[in-house]
Every structure is written in structure tokens, then in C-alpha cells.
Structure 1
Amino acid sequence: MTAGPLLFARYAFPPNERGLCGPDDHAALRDYATAGVTGPGLVRLATGFAGAWPYLELIASASKIEDALDPRVVEAYWVGNSLLDKVRMPAYGASLEERFRGRAGRGWEHIALAVSAGAVPHHSFHVFLVYPWAGLLRAGREEPSLQVLDSCRISWGRVITADPATGTVLVMRRPLCWDGRVLGYGPAVPHQAAAGFVTGLLPGDWVSMHWNCVCDRLSQRQLLALRQFTARHLRLVDAEYAA
């Protein structure tokens, strides 16, 4: 299993490189992930992700795991696993209220309702129900809202070809689509992504992607978990639209 800090770096680097989250030292995060080494510097960088880090602490605390960068905790947040359902609703709600109630304004009610309806501290919850893009989509601003939602979620696809010379991968992937009422998936289409820090990819491999960059090779267990937890939060956001 990939060391937790390195696994975190693989998922966090694509948006960090774009200046969307985390500390400004993109090069340091990239260098750690490229070299495949961990250290106190990488841990400090991880704690600078104000969006993700509190979720990791919450998941670790609920499972009595001392290290918020334990690989099981990191996997839970980005991909999903059984640790997520150990987080109790009162603790989750209190954490979110402290972080977002003052900033969310009227949107706080939707966040609170989602938690009571079964949301868990998975990245897809943050993308679909905390970020404003789903609300903007609902208000008729399809672009760039749909593109941002599709890029920021952790998506999955199956490798068709991988080209080490260019560092690119062609995958079959189902993009998000919006019909004016429901946010769901379109049919699978070929999609080109950067290989990121994952080497040795072969046709048939399942991979996770964040902001058009491959983050990890997925086992069948991980693939199922990512699909299930993403679907859980899509159902919640669609329930908001239906309302």
C-alpha cells in the first residue's frame, strides 16, 4: 500500500497545482510525489489543505487512528472505505457547523440536511454539497459549473492505452451530465488524462482521476467504494434539486 502522505499528495496535487487549494509551494508537493519519499515537510504541506485536512482528522478520530495521514484514512476521504461510516452524525455536523456555517449563509441549511440524510466525510460530499457549484448549476449557470464539478470529483475510468513517452493515458470514463433537473452520468467516452505519478499502467487497469490527472490504480474493492460513496452524495444533491 502506498504510504499515506504520498497517497494524499497524489490526490491533492492536481488542484493544488492550479492554485485551487492548499499551500502555495506546488513544486515541493510535486517533488515529494515524484521522488516517492515522505517526511515532516510533506506532512506540513498536507496540513495546509484547509478543506481536506479537517476531514482526515475527523475520520482518524472516529476510528481511533492516531495518524490523520494513515493510508486507510487518506483512502477513506478520497476513495471511500468502511471508516467513513464510523463517523457519527453529531460529530460530523458539529465539525461542519464550526467550519462552514458562517461562510455558507443560506446554503448552510442544505449542508445540515445532507448530513442528517446520510452524508459522510468523503471528497464527493465536499464537491457536491459544500462547494457552490451545484447551486450555481441549479440556478442555470451550467458552465463552468458542470465542468468544475466533473473535474473536482474523484472520477474513475478504465485504461485503453498508456503512453510513457508523453505521460498521458487514454481511458474510458463516464462524465457528469445535467439535464436541467438531475445530475448524473453520461455514457462512457474516451478521455485523455495525465498519468501523474502512477507508472506502469496497462490496458484494462482501473484508475482514479482528479482534475484530469491519474491519482492511483484502483482495486475492485476501491472501485466499488468510490462508485458507491459518489452515488450516495449524488443522490443527496439530486434530492436538493428535486426539492
Structure 2
Amino acid sequence: MVIDGAQLFVRYAYPPNARGSCGPEDSDALFQYGQTGVTDPGLRELAKGFAGAWPYLELIAGATGIPDPLDYRVVEAYWVGSPLLDAVGTNNIGNSMEDRFRARTGMQFPHLVEGVLAGGVPHHSFHVFEVYPWLGLLRDDRRFATALHVLDQCRIRWGEVVAIAGDEAVVRSRPLAWDGVALHLADPILETAKFAVAGAGFVSGLAVGDAVSLHWDWICDKLTAGQLHRLRHFTERHLKIANTGVEHRGAAIALERG
């Protein structure tokens, strides 16, 4: 099934939106758009309400000469990864971070800049590992388990479908682990994820053996070999950057989510 960029956005944005973690309050409307495949001005307005994701889409589009932030190429670059990300340019990314986060990050802002200079690009994993407050809480014995869970579930992860039952699939994936010093991808586990509700969902024709992307407890899309490679590449890039600065992180850096 060929979908446009707005519909691809729905697939990745809905899981945190349904939890009340990101974007406008009307998650039912977002689900309806994804289930019906309709793209109209109403969907575009919903997408603009994602204060975390939308500025990155604007940044990628503007820096690469693509008129529409919901162009498929832009949306794919942000959630999955593509060569577009390295074409955005360090100055453009740095200026965007300055505009969005300097006033709210205070003494933490230089560490965000360091992440950009180290190769950070406007991929969702950059926002999760470099901007979210959770990285700085991994050294807090009372809160590290929650922080690790959020970091793992909020990043776009990948896995292989090993079984399907009703509206759910069992997926083999590699979770994040924290060894007290650094984050890394642990050995594979089996997890259960939804791809529909009462038979209605976003991803059709799912089969055992498919490579898929996941966001929280939802399967977002089937991945081609190239998409899988790029998602792993940008995730691992930003994990490496995060680990080089984890000891400098304090509490919350930014409030924008999604």
C-alpha cells in the first residue's frame, strides 16, 4: 500500500498521542485519519500541533528545498532516517536548537550544542536521546528504571514479526539497556505490539518474518531493507553521542515531546 507523507506521520505520531504524551488531545481523530487513509487540511492542522516533531519537519524541508514539511521524504527522514538528514547542515540544526531550546535549557544548552557538533541530525532519536530529560535521570537510582523505559519505548525501534494473533503481533526486538555507564542495545527479546483495534489499523498485510518499526506498543510500518539499515544507523549514531555526554546531563532539558 502506497501512502503519502501525512499518513506516514500518523502511523508514527499516533502511539504517543494516544497516551496523552505528545500532540493535540484528539487522538481519536488522528486514528480515524490513519484508518481511513484520508489526507485533508484537518490532518495537516493536527500534525502542526505536535510541538516536538513539527519543527523538525519544517527544518528538514526548509534546509533541503522541499516545500512541504509533510512530504513523504521529510517525514520518513525524521522518523526512520535518510540521507536528507546529513544535508540539513550543522548551522541550520544549531540555529534551530538555539531558537527552540536555549531559553529553557539554561546551563544545559552547551551539551545540546555539543550533540549537534558531534554529528547529531534532526532524527527522532536525536530528540529522544539529546533533548528529552530522561538521559539525565539514568544515574538517579530512584528513577532510572522509568527513564530507561521511556527512552526505549519512545525511540523508534525495529524488530522482526514472529507470530500474529488478532490485532497483535509478537516481535523480536532489541531493547535498550543501561549498565551504569552507557546505554546500549541488549540481546533480543520478544514483545507484543498492536497493529490494529477491532481489525482497524494502519499496517495491512503483516506477515511473519516482516521487519517492522515500533513506537511505544504499536507497530508503525513494515520496513524495507534500506529503511531498516537507516533506522539502525541513525539510532546508533545518536546513542554514541548520548553516551559521550551522559555524565554531564542534569535534570530536564526540554518540555517538548513527540
TM-score by length of 2: 0.91
Structure 1 residue 241 displacement after superposition: 2.7
Aligned 8 A contact 2:160 2:172 in 1 = yes
1:155 corresponds to: 157
The whole-number CA distance in structure 1 between the counterparts of 2:178 and 2:204 is 34
CA RMSD after TM alignment: 1.1
User: Post-superposition shift, 1:104?
Assistant: 1.4
Q: Which amino acid aligns with 1:112?
A: V
1:217 aligns with 2:222: yes
Where do 5+ consecutive residues of structure 2 fail to align?
197-201, 249-258
**Residue in structure 2 matched with residue 37 of structure 1 by the alignment:** 38
Q: 1:21: which partner in 2?
A: 22
Distance 1:60 1:232 in 2: 22
The secondary structure found in structure 1 opposite 2:138 is helix
Q: Letter of the aligned partner of 2:217 in structure 1?
A: N
Q: Which moved more, 1:194-203 or 1:81-90?
A: 194-203
Deviations 1:166-204 (A, max 9, x none): x10101000000000010011001111111421211111
Gaps of 5+ in 1: none
Distance 1:193 1:82 in 2: 29
Q: Within 5 Å, give how 1:1-243 maps onto structure 2.
A: 1-140=2-141, 141-163=143-165, 165=166, 167-196=167-196, 197-241=202-246
- Structure-1-length-normalised TM-score: 0.97
For 2:253, the equivalent position in structure 1 comes to none
Amino acid at match of 2:226: R
Partners of 1:114 and 1:182 in 2: CA distance: 16
> SS at 2:160's partner residue?
strand
Give the Cα–Cα distance (whole angstroms) in 1 for the partners of residues 238 and 34 of structure 2: 29
SS in 2 for 1:38: coil
Count of equivalent residues: 241
The one-letter amino acid of 1:55's match is: Y
Give, in whole Å, the separation in 2 of the partners of 1:207 and 1:2: 16
Any idea what SS the aligned residue of 1:50 has? coil
How many angstroms apart in 2 are the aligned matches of 1:242 and 1:133? 13
Preserved CA contact (<8 Å) 2:161 2:171: yes
Ranked by relative contact order (alpha carbons within 8 Å, sequence separation 6 or more), the top structure is 2
**Matched residue of 1:138: which SS?**
coil
Deviation at 1:139, TM superposition (A): 3.7
> Could you tell me whether the CA contact under 8 Å between 2:8 and 2:75 is conserved in 1?
yes
User: Which residue number corresponds to residue 199 of structure 2?
Assistant: none
- Post-superposition shift, 1:213? 0.4
Deviation at 1:242, TM superposition (A): 5.9
Distance 2:233 2:224 in 1: 14
Distance 1:71 1:181 in 2: 37
Structure 1 Cα separation of the partners of residues 236 and 110 of structure 2: 21
